[in-house]
Amino acid sequence: MRIGLDTNILAYLAGVSRTAADDAKIAAIRALIRELAGRASLVAPAQTLGELFVVLRRSGTPPEDARTILMEFATAFGTSASEARTALAAADLVVDHKLQFWDALIITAAADAGCTLLLSEDMQDGFVTRGLTVVNPLPTQPHPKLAKLLSVQH
């Protein structure tokens, strides 16, 4: 199984904290990613890496350190590039489902990479397109597809 990671998930993984509540989210996401690493292939679409660089810079991370984090994530996770057809398919999602373009681009890139789940805190939990389901990994009760994956013994 392949699982895509949205920018906010990568930001928590990188330790970006804006509020006191973020510290608990950072711990939860880091634990989840450790658990998933042995059960699935994790993918960071190129768009999420670019957005993460901006998030890191806005949080005060020097550009050299932000670049290092991106390189580490690109090495640790698979990546998926955005191409012209990815942008066109994303535009279709915007028109058909009223999504924000950048979210649609991430969803499309993850689907193109063969992901069946996309972990995101702020996209529409449960949204399904092209065999990919958007899942918020932070609620107390995880989405059934994520819960099923986590319950499988490895």
Query: Strand, helix or coil at 113?
Result: coil
The CATH number linked to 84 is 3.40.50.1010
Which range marks the domain in which residue 102 is found?
A: 2-151
In the block, tokens 């649609």 appear at: 104
pLDDT on residue 82: 76
pLDDT on residue 69: 98
pLDDT on residue 20: 87
Instruction: Choose among 121, 47, 33, 107: nearest CA to 77.
Output: 33
Core vs surface per residue 95-128: b (16+ CB within 10 A) or e: eeeebeeebbbbbbbbbbbebbbbbbbebeeebe
pLDDT on residue 144: 93
CA 12 and chain centroid, separation: 10
Cβ neighbours of 57 (radius 10 Å): 13
Using 50 as the pLDDT threshold, list the residues of the chain that sit under it. none
Dist. CA 99–CA 76, nearest whole Å: 29
pLDDT on residue 153: 57
Tally the domains of the chain.
Answer: 1
pLDDT on residue 34: 95
